Amino acid sequence: MTTESRTASSATSSAASAATENLTDATTTADPTGPIPVVPGAAPHLDVAQVSEALMGRWADVRHAARERAARPELHRPVDATVAEHRERVFQQLQILVDDDVSRPMLPEHLGGPNDNGGNVAGFEELVVADPSLQIKAGVQWGLYTSAIIQLGSQEQQKAWVPPAMSLETPGAFAMTEIGHGSDVQSLATTATYDPGTEEWVIHTPFRAAWKDFLGNAAIHAKAATLFARLITNGVDHGVHCFYVPVRDADGELLPGVSSEDDGEKGGLNGIDNGRLAFDQVRIPRTNLLNRYGDVAADGTYTSPIESPGRRFFTMLGTLVQGRVSLDGSAIRASELALHIAITYATQRRQFSAADPTQETVLMDYQAHLHRLLPKLAATYAGAFAHEQLLQAYDDVFSGREDDPEAREDLETLAAALKPTSTRLALDTIQEAREACGGAGFMGENQLVGLHQDLDVYATFEGDNTVLLQLVAKRLLSDYTDELKNVDRAGIGRFIAQRAEVLAKRHTPWARLGQSVSDRGNARRAFDSMRDAEFQEEMLADRARVKVEEVALALRGAAKMSPADAAAEVNKHQVEMLDAARAHADLVRWRAFTSGIEALEDEGSRAVLTDVRDLFGLTAINDDLAWFLLSGMISTQRGRQIESDLRRLLWRLRPHVLDLVAAFDVRPGHVRAPIALGAEQDRQDEAAAYFRAQRASSDAPVSEKALRDREKKARRAAQKRAGKR
């Protein structure tokens, strides 16, 4: 972050603190962990419309239209359909999307499209609130199968195969994953061997573990596949390339040499016909190699515009990054839906009597309920702002405006950091929301259990989350190493010695002493500094940097080892690498959130969202508090203060929870959960009316406890009168 943006961040934080502190004098002297009353004209107010537009980002118009579409009943997930019925329904729903020309924005100009890749993904993400099966089925058809043709094929190939893919004339599968290798695409075993005598490729599955598996559309609907296989010509294996392979005829019958099996019922997404494909010496024309990054002449000569096999492989896979980008946004949208349901319900559902003998307490007024839902709300806001930055970076690269190797690598790293973070957040948020709604949350009609089932696989497809975080860690380590390349040998020695000394000092109490002395006896000072934007960024940035440094210094000897020993050494530090990647993702989200706040014009909205941002930042610090304490980055005094600071933030945000979820723009047609559409409020209103009428009547039964209390009071009064006599 630049000096200017840091200053703006601090100013935003200070303004927010001033606005939220200016409530009443009584508030400042009350218990800091207790609720803060809303004082008309004094408390900040969230401009729901402005914040909603900010969350929708550059493609707000696209999202508005997509949300209208997602509210249509004919696109919604059925609650009680069989697997076969759900599959057929989703396939018919795809035709509705075709009729609406939903995926046209992805097409380049020479295919009649606007080349609006960001708009295409923004609209696609919104389908998750209609039916995740429909979203992923559409993603397979157009985001993977068709996109592979566009991104990896020549213009001639695109003109031949893209139009029937767009119209659903040719439903397709994206045949990359093999049951034996999963995310290790570089080691795929399926082969495509060139036969110069017939100018054909021979596609072959050599053993069971090389079957293509988990493929959407493969079990029933796919008539063709974009298949990844090892390209072998003139006895040379040139690595994994992509081929266009027909798999079924016009009547849906498998072509000779092609085998298919149905994956059957799954833990979720049962509207998609996932299946397996295998190939027994299947022949396709030479021109069916998608040849943008590698081609073979009639005589079998291989050529490529990218000389390095490794860089060529990663360039080809990098063109398919949109899957990770779209899943990041979809997961955030699913979290918004779950929070809308749970928080709406929690502001209506009453449970247990408190100070008011005639009315029970709403769930949202319990601190434990705030504690379980609001940090998830804060993380969802952070994820939404970070996703907008990711989506813009994706559009810049794929539109061609900023398409260079460094920009692509940055895009891939950002997607690899955010997709695991948001999908894990979605699963945790949906589960917490389900539990927060009690038994009602477990009912299928209220969406949460079905949503969790469908999003479960988001954590492992389009790149397993653990593998993606390793990719992020490797990029961070590579950047760190590149910095050292600019230092001479003596300088490297001094640098390593200096960093080792700094890291060692962090594990002693001396580095914490000055901070502890300045904070001791002054909880208010510690609280102010924790709320300061520059302090939070410094803590999160230092954590991300130091964790990379610790791994880099631990691995500095691996460069001199044999490949096997070096791999073993890296494996010893795999957990630390993943931890460094997560720290990086937290920093990315915090900075994106801060930038989003700074762009808002409404002062009240900035104040409220700064509290939300602080909740996110302090929660991230608190979740890793042991590391901060052991590293000497936070004093014990401040460490103790964080919990009370977080509780105070929860109470500050309590009056704004409905506005905060309203800004998600989750519409009734998206919610489809009776408990969040007025059913619970109707029950509460009916119960309240009943008890009011009962209390007003002359023949209402008297509780045993009240009767005993009345009798006891009468006896005491009688005894008192007797004593006077």
Cβ-contact 351, 445 below 8 angstroms:
no
**Angstrom distance (rounded) from CA 455 to CA 266:** 12
Instruction: Give pLDDT tens digits for 236-255.
Output: 999 999 999 999 999 999 99
As a whole number, mean pLDDT of residues 134-151 equals: 96
CATH classification for the domain delimited by 60-320, as one of 2.40.110.10, 3.30.70.20, 1.10.600.10, 1.10.3720.10: 2.40.110.10
- Per-residue pLDDT at 18: 39
Cβ-contact 239, 204 below 8 angstroms:
no
**Angstrom distance (rounded) from CA 461 to CA 327:** 9
Identify which has the larger pLDDT, 712 or 164: 164
Cβ-contact 124, 135 below 8 angstroms:
yes
As a whole number, mean pLDDT of residues 390-414 equals: 90
- Per-residue pLDDT at 487: 53
Residue 489 has pLDDT above 60, yes or no: no
- Per-residue pLDDT at 637: 84
As a whole number, mean pLDDT of residues 146-152 equals: 96
Cβ-contact 180, 243 below 8 angstroms:
no
Residue 643 has pLDDT above 80, yes or no: yes
Phi then psi for residue 349, to 5 deg, are: -70, 130
Cβ-contact 613, 382 below 8 angstroms:
yes
Provide CB contacts within 8 A for 610, sequence distance 6+. 12, 13, 15, 16, 17, 533, 597
Coil vs helix vs strand at 578: helix
Coil vs helix vs strand at 284: strand
Count CA within 13 A, CB hemisphere, residue 279: 28
Residue 485 has pLDDT above 90, yes or no: no
Identify which has the larger pLDDT, 479 or 378: 378
Residue 187 has pLDDT above 60, yes or no: yes
Categorize the per-residue pLDDT at 42 as very low, low, confident or very high, splitting at 50, 70 and 90.
low
DSSP conformation class of 471: H
Identify which has the larger pLDDT, 339 or 553: 339
- Per-residue pLDDT at 522: 52
CATH 1.20.140.10 for domain 3-43+323-668: yes
Residue 235 has pLDDT above 60, yes or no: yes
CATH 2.40.110.10 in the chain is located at: 60-320
Instruction: Give pLDDT tens digits for 467-479.
Output: 999 999 999 888 8
Instruction: Give pLDDT tens digits for 281-299.
Output: 999 999 999 999 999 999 9
Residue 87 has pLDDT above 90, yes or no: yes
- Per-residue pLDDT at 519: 54
Provide CB contacts within 8 A for 681, sequence distance 6+. 348
Identify which has the larger pLDDT, 168 or 519: 168
For tokens 């002693």, what's the residue? 508
**Angstrom distance (rounded) from CA 441 to CA 276:** 35
**Angstrom distance (rounded) from CA 145 to CA 4:** 45
Cβ-contact 542, 19 below 8 angstroms:
no
**Angstrom distance (rounded) from CA 551 to CA 574:** 9
- Which two three-digit tokens encode residue 295? 């081609």
- Per-residue pLDDT at 20: 40
Instruction: Give pLDDT tens digits for 425-465.
Output: 999 999 999 999 999 999 999 999 999 999 999 999 888 99
**Angstrom distance (rounded) from CA 415 to CA 430:** 22
Which of 717, 568, 565, 544 is CA-nearest to residue 620? 544
- Per-residue pLDDT at 47: 96
Which of 483, 470, 594 is CA-nearest to residue 533? 594
- Per-residue pLDDT at 352: 87
- Per-residue pLDDT at 6: 38
Instruction: Give pLDDT tens digits for 303-341.
Output: 999 999 988 998 888 777 999 999 999 999 999 999 999
For tokens 């596949």, what's the residue? 225
Average pLDDT of the chain, as a whole number:
87
Cβ-contact 341, 447 below 8 angstroms:
yes
Percent of the chain surpassing pLDDT 70: 87
Instruction: Give pLDDT tens digits for 195-224.
Output: 999 999 999 999 999 999 999 999 999 999
- Which two three-digit tokens encode residue 229? 């296989």
- Per-residue pLDDT at 14: 40
Residue 270 has pLDDT above 50, yes or no: yes
CB atoms within 10 A of CB 92: 10
Instruction: Give pLDDT tens digits for 515-535.
Output: 444 554 455 555 557 778 999
Provide CB contacts within 8 A for 191, sequence distance 6+. 202, 203, 204, 206, 229, 230, 232
Phi then psi for residue 650, to 5 deg, are: -60, -45
- Per-residue pLDDT at 338: 98
The residue length of the chain stands at 725
Cβ-contact 150, 158 below 8 angstroms:
yes
pTM above 0.75, yes or no: yes
**Angstrom distance (rounded) from CA 130 to CA 615:** 30
Residue 550 has pLDDT above 70, yes or no: yes
Residue 413 has pLDDT above 80, yes or no: yes
As a whole number, mean pLDDT of residues 60-86 equals: 95
**Angstrom distance (rounded) from CA 309 to CA 318:** 14
Which of 664, 676, 670, 663 is CA-nearest to residue 67? 670
**Angstrom distance (rounded) from CA 129 to CA 330:** 9
Cβ-contact 102, 141 below 8 angstroms:
no
Categorize the per-residue pLDDT at 687 as very low, low, confident or very high, splitting at 50, 70 and 90.
confident
Residue 41 has pLDDT above 80, yes or no: no
CATH 1.20.140.10 in the chain is located at: 3-43+323-668
